[in-house]
Amino acid sequence: MLGHRAGGQGLNAPFGTGCLYTNPTAMADRKLLTGISSDAFVSDADRWALEKLQKVPLLPLVMRKFYEVGFDRWFYVMNMSMSVRCGPNQYPTLHRILKESCAVLDMPEPELYITNNPFPNAFAGGVERPYITLRSGIVDNLSDEQLYHLIGHELGHIKANHVLYFSVGAVLFALLDLLGKRTLGTTDVASYALVLAYYEWSRQAEFSADRAGLLVSQSLTTSLDSQISLTAGPSRLRHEQNREAFMDQARAYQDADTLDQIGKAVLFMMYGKTFTHPMPVHRAQELERWYLTGAYERIMNGDYARLAQAA
C-alpha cells in the first residue's frame, strides 16, 4: 500500500496481510511483553545522545542543584494540586487503559492524572514517584484506542528513565540561573553545550517513546492515527483524516532539501521546547520506519531484550 519503503528494503507484508494499516488491536488480543526491558525500544540515537549529554561537564552540577532545591517534589505537589487523580472510581476508562498498558509493558502502575487544559498534551513526571498527566484536550482529541498509544508513549518515558532528564530540562534555565551559569546572550560555552546536548537528547527520546506507544497499541494504524489527531486537532472531523496523505507529507518533510538536519535541530530548539511532544509529522515517519525494519514484529514474536531478573 505504500509507494515508499524505508531503506529500500521492500518488505513484503511483514504481518502477512499485505497491508501496513490494519484494524486496531482489541485488548483481549494484545500481547503482554513479559519481562521486556527498555532496551527493546530505546533507539541507538537516544542512547548515544544521552551518553553525550551525560558527558557534558556542567551536568553533574546541574543535577545536584536539581535535587538540592527539591524540584522533583515541587513538581509532584504542583501537579497533584492542579489535576484529578484517576482510579477505578474516577475516570475508570482512563485508569483501565493505564492498567492494561502497564500489563503490556510489564511495569508498575504510575499515578495517572487528568487536568483541564484545552491545549492537547500529556507528560510523564516524578523521578521518585512517577506519574502521567493527561490534559483534557488530548483526551478529547483521541479515541480510546489511540489513548493506548499515548499512554504507552508516556510509560515508555518512565520505563526508559527519561523522566529524570526531562524534569531537569524543564527547569534547566532556572538551574543555570541558580548556578550563575545562565546562557543565551552570554558566552558561557559550557551552558550552551549543555542546552544543545539536552535538546538533541530530548528529541531522540520522543522517538523511543513512540515505539513504546506502538508496542502498547499493537497497531501501526492506531499509532499513526493518534499522531494525525494530535497534529491536526478536530475530533469532529476525524472521519476525514487521510493516513496515506499524512505519511506522504511526512516523507516530503524528511526529504526536504531546504531543511537540513541542523536546521531541523535549530527549529526544534526554538519551537519544539514549547511542546512536550514536538515534531509529530517527523515522528510518524520515524515510527513507520522502525516498524518496517521488522523490529516490532520480532518483539511481538517474543524476541526482545528482557530485564536481567526476567532473563
Binding site for Zn ion (CB under 5 A): 206, 209
Show the beta-strand stretches assigned E in the chain: 84-85, 111-115, 122-125, 131-135
Of 149 and 181, nearer to Zn ion (C-beta) is 149
CB of 107 to Zn ion, least distance (A): 16
CB of 308 to Zn ion, least distance (A): 26
Of 34 and 276, nearer to Zn ion (C-beta) is 276
Of the candidates 128, 122, 92, the one whose C-alpha atom is nearest the C-alpha of residue 110 is 128
Residue number of the CB closest to Zn ion reads: 209
Sign of CA dihedral 143, 157, 50, 167: positive
Q: Report strand pairing: 84-85 vs 111-115.
A: antiparallel
Grid coordinates of 154: 508516556
What is the amino acid identity at position 272? G
CB of 302 to Zn ion, least distance (A): 27
Q: Which residues contact 231 (CB under 8 A, 6 or more apart)?
A: 246, 280, 281
Of 72 and 206, nearer to Zn ion (C-beta) is 206
How many CA atoms lie less than 13 Å away from 153 in the CB half-sphere?
A: 25
Of 20 and 138, nearer to Zn ion (C-beta) is 138
CB of 40 to Zn ion, least distance (A): 17
CB of 157 to Zn ion, least distance (A): 5
Of 49 and 209, nearer to Zn ion (C-beta) is 209
How many CA atoms lie less than 13 Å away from 115 in the CB half-sphere?
A: 19
